[in-house]
Structure 1
Amino acid sequence: MRFLISRTPCFVLLFSALSFSAIAQKDNNNNYLDSSSNWSLHYQFTTIVQGHTGFRGAGYVGRNTLSDLPDTTLSVTTTLFVGRRLWKGAGLYLNPEIAGGRGVGHRDPSAPYDETLYNAAVGLGGFPNGESFRIGSAKPAVYVARFYMEQVFALPGAQPENIESEANHVKQQRPDARVVITAGKFSVADIFDNNRYSHDPRTQFMNWSLMSYGAWDYPANTRGYTWGLALEYVRPAYELRVAYSLMPKTANGGVLDWNVGQSGGLTVELESRYRLLKQPGTVRLLGFRNTSKAPHYADATQRLLTGTYNPDRPYIIYGDQYGGVKYGFGLSLEQPLARNSGLFARVSWNDGKTATWAFTEIDRSLAVGAFLAGHAWGRPEDALGIAGVVNGLSPEHVAFLNAGGVAFMLGDGRLPNYQTEQILEAFYKTRLTRTLFLTADYQLIDNPGYNGDRGPVNLFAIRTHVEF
């Protein structure tokens, strides 16, 4: 956190300098251009109040066991999206952000209630609040979420398409056939797996395994951002994109590893359009390969069984040498049914031998669902969503947890009755004013943390979202 805050003034100064140079551009008659249309300024504020009732526990608990006592939590994020067009095809974007609060997690049931006794955002693979993070403090913190530059090059024969001003987009005409280069700090999930019905926990489904591929250990710090370089080749019928970005130094850590020769994440995605029943659909195929200090689960399990595992510096969190490789695949479908409504599905898999290092502890995942806009009942800005998810772990991952292993999300002390984690999520979002949306959300999670001796868990949430 100190790293981000200390450099924020530098980012702002650099952004201002580049913006001033862009303002000073002249037209062909040597007149200074009006820069008002070259800016994009947007804002969002999201709060989620979420809680669960008491549920069936087990006769054993670990450091990351989801508390079976009733619990209510609050998370808050607010983001400023500033964009500036620099020259033809180029834009610079800065997103200062504030986040605070916590997600549901673990606390010692024998101790008095104390916020500091919680391990927040633990106990589940498919965590229920996409706006909460695995951080050590619930206090609001200021940081730079995104700071990147984008350059677009038109391909031969490209036709212009109008792009309206929105978050991290300046109003402009963009070629429909193009090459896009993005460099800086961003979320890899901004660029990959942009499923229109299940991608944004601020306006759509909230569960982590519905934001993106559950088994994609996408490169990011604990808040979901990284530094990287992405290249996109876009044609009207298909798109190809590739990115290389930084991995964290430790599992789900806040500090990124700049040793790019031995640590980093390579992501590749092919996106193609098709038509079914006269409706255009989209299919995406994603592959990834991450390198880091992440150790093998089998090695960590052996250390646990032989008594050579240091609980004060967990091997599964810190590793001790480079060379850990994690790879996997994802397939995503979206099929429109009507205006702003459609079906979606995702399936993802990773090798499950190397420890999860960035996102969440899911090695296999299948998700299907529907997103329905309110045109049919006379409220076009409202939306109804329902989805189901099945998450699983690799045999090596299960063996580690059953031996008493604790990673950054899971750890019940043992896992003698492994079962897939099964999730049902349903929500209704309504627009109260031009800028204010209110969402009621329900999630039912069976076998929380893949533990067949616990659950099911009923979670209820109210989400307030402001955007303009």
Structure 2
Amino acid sequence: MSTARAQQDNNNNYLDSLQKWSLHYQFTTIVQGHAGFHGDGYDGRNTLSPQSDTALSVTTTLFLGRRLWKGAGLFINPEIAGGRGVGHRDSQSPYDESLYAPAVGIAGFPNGETFRIGSARPALYIARVYLEQIFPLDNSDGVEVESGANQVKGVVPASRVVVTAGKFSVADMFDNNRYAHDPRTQFLNWSLMSLGAWDYPANTRGYTWGLALEYIRPTYAIRAAANLMPKTANGNVLDWNIRQSGALTVELEKQYTLLKYPGTVRVLGFRNVTKAPAYALATQRLLQTGSVGDPPFVLTGDQYGGVKYGFGVNMEQPLGETGGLFARLSWNDGRTATWAFTEIDRSLTVGGLIGGRRWRRPNDGIGLSVAVNGISPDHRAFLNAGGIGFMLGDGSLPNYRTENSWEAYYSARIARTLYLTLNYQFVQNPGYNGDRGPVNLFALRTHVEF
């Protein structure tokens, strides 16, 4: 073999090996503040401070992927997160601070990145580490996919079964929506990034261990997953007692065509089993003892058997180059205490995206949305008796109202890898308290990805 030919073969081998890897990165900071608002007279453990406040959150993630064999890939995501949400008060509470979120006082919290933060101090951890195996269902042509976050460049079968095992975010696969799903690039409100009433399995930072199975066809898909739940509400330690604790999630996705535009509808159901107590029992103990407990009973429970179940419907409707619309409706039984996501038992969100192509800024966009969130009668009675969850608790709730949020943003691509977003939110009845608010919130998001 000639020297030139040998050198060419070595170059080809090197390029082939590079194509088996995927390396991407994201960095997101959100500076958010709220003006002072009417809210005196309430001073609970989780009361949103009525004084004007500004807070900063930071997350940075490395997405590393490696193709192992045909259809298989290994993905690892080291991540650093830190910061807090607006309105959080420093507390001398004797309770374990790890049981609480650094985002309190608003059920549909206005900064989705704080969901992944368990402490104001930046910390390094492994967000995801999982193995993915794809099995083709037939010999039809596949779909070419580019290298992306947790995606190695290659051809993916149009009809396939996907098995995922390891540590990941359940929201990576379930309840997707092209217009409202990622607080790093889209809406910031918690009830817009996922079904609000879906108490989806996750630790404090939003990740869990589990097994997911997807059956995907060109026009529909069926997904199911079994995952670990945290040992305590909003806890970072997951419960490996899979005989008595865990989450089951099932979703059906169907594509359709409306006015010549393809749309998608997803129907999701879930059932979680944990140590979460019933709100009625927690309220009874609170009234009998005059104390929420140390640590709070509603955040720890004392025996397995707490079941929370619910469902959600998620729709997205593109409208060509002009943008698209979305809507979500979700509900849970509301009898068992919230354990992982947020204190919402009923939720309706609608909104849309206006693409920047109209004003010759194809990578810019305007987002507009409305969210209406509520809680069950048992949940209301618990909060009115002086109970506290890991996010809500004004000391009493004599004037319950739905929590309503309006959100608008403008996202601008400043450079190839840099995006800046101006965000405004208007929240009525924060924490379902009709005696407080409304709250005006402003945010500036900086997002880098490559």
Structure 1 distance, partners of 2:291, 2:444, is: 42
Aligned to 2:436: 454
Partners of 1:94 and 1:146 within 8 A in 2: yes
Choose from 52, 64, 69 the match for 1:82.
64
Partners of 2:101 and 2:234 within 8 A in 1: no
Partners of 2:292 and 2:387 within 8 A in 1: no
| Deviation per residue, 1:227-284 (Å, 9 max, x gap) | 0000000001100000000000000100000001110000000000000000000000
Aligned to 1:383: 365
Aligned to 1:425: 407
Aligned to 1:207: 189
Residues 80 and 442 (structure 1 numbering): CA distance in 2 closer, same or farther, change over 3 Å? Answer: same
Residues 329 and 431 (structure 1 numbering): CA distance in 2 closer, same or farther, change over 3 Å? Answer: same
Structure 2 counterparts to residues 123-272 of structure 1, below 5 A: 123-133=105-115, 137-272=119-254
Structure 2 distance, partners of 1:310, 1:272, is: 45
Q: Is 1:68 aligned to residue 20 of structure 2?
A: no
Structure 1 distance, partners of 2:118, 2:62, is: 24
Question: RMSD of the alignment, in Å?
Answer: 1.7
Structure 1 distance, partners of 2:101, 2:157, is: 48
Q: Which stretches in structure 1 are left out of the alignment for 5+ residues? A: 1-26, 110-117
Partners of 2:82 and 2:117 within 8 A in 1: no
Deviation at 1:372, TM superposition (A): 1.7
How many residues are paired up? Answer: 432
Deviation at 1:214, TM superposition (A): 0.3
TM-score, normalization by structure 2: 0.94
Q: Is 1:404 aligned to residue 397 of structure 2?
A: no
Q: Is 1:286 aligned to residue 268 of structure 2?
A: yes
Structure 2 distance, partners of 1:382, 1:389, is: 23
Q: Which moved more, 1:166-175 or 1:56-65?
A: 56-65
Partners of 1:401 and 1:414 within 8 A in 2: yes
Residues 42 and 135 (structure 1 numbering): CA distance in 2 closer, same or farther, change over 3 Å? Answer: closer
Structure 2 distance, partners of 1:53, 1:33, is: 54
Runs of 4 or more consecutive aligned structure 1 residues displaced over 4 Å after TM superposition: none
Deviation at 1:61, TM superposition (A): 1.9
Residues 135 and 344 (structure 1 numbering): CA distance in 2 closer, same or farther, change over 3 Å? Answer: closer
| Deviation per residue, 1:317-366 (Å, 9 max, x gap) | 00000000000000011000013720000000000000000000000000
Q: Per the alignment, in what secondary structure is the counterpart of residue 115 of structure 2?
A: coil
Partners of 1:65 and 1:412 within 8 A in 2: yes
Partners of 1:105 and 1:119 within 8 A in 2: no
Deviation at 1:32, TM superposition (A): 8.7
Partners of 1:309 and 1:315 within 8 A in 2: no
Choose from 306, 310, 317 the match for 1:324.
306
Q: Is 1:49 aligned to residue 31 of structure 2?
A: yes
Aligned to 1:439: 421
Once the two structures are aligned, what percentage of the paired residues are identical? 71
Deviation at 1:371, TM superposition (A): 1.0
| Deviation per residue, 1:23-55 (Å, 9 max, x gap) | xxxx9xxx8983011100000000000000000
Partners of 2:118 and 2:205 within 8 A in 1: no
Q: Per the alignment, in what secondary structure is the counterpart of residue 106 of structure 1?
A: coil
Aligned to 2:448: 466
Aligned to 1:13: none
Q: Per the alignment, in what secondary structure is the counterpart of residue 432 of structure 1?
A: strand
Structure 1 distance, partners of 2:410, 2:305, is: 45
Q: Which moved more, 1:156-165 or 1:92-101?
A: 156-165
Give 2:433's aligned amino acid. Answer: N
Partners of 1:106 and 1:119 within 8 A in 2: no
Partners of 1:107 and 1:119 within 8 A in 2: no
Give 1:213's aligned amino acid. Answer: L
Aligned to 1:10: none
Structure 2 distance, partners of 1:364, 1:310, is: 25
Q: Is 1:296 aligned to residue 278 of structure 2?
A: yes
Structure 1 distance, partners of 2:89, 2:116, is: 15
Q: Which stretches in structure 2 are left out of the alignment for 5+ residues? A: 1-8, 92-99
Deviation at 1:60, TM superposition (A): 2.4
Q: Per the alignment, in what secondary structure is the counterpart of residue 337 of structure 2?
A: coil
Aligned to 1:366: 348
Aligned to 1:98: 80
Residues 94 and 454 (structure 1 numbering): CA distance in 2 closer, same or farther, change over 3 Å? Answer: same
Give 1:219's aligned amino acid. Answer: P
Q: Is 1:345 aligned to residue 313 of structure 2?
A: no
Partners of 1:286 and 1:330 within 8 A in 2: yes
Deviation at 1:421, TM superposition (A): 0.1
Partners of 1:402 and 1:414 within 8 A in 2: yes
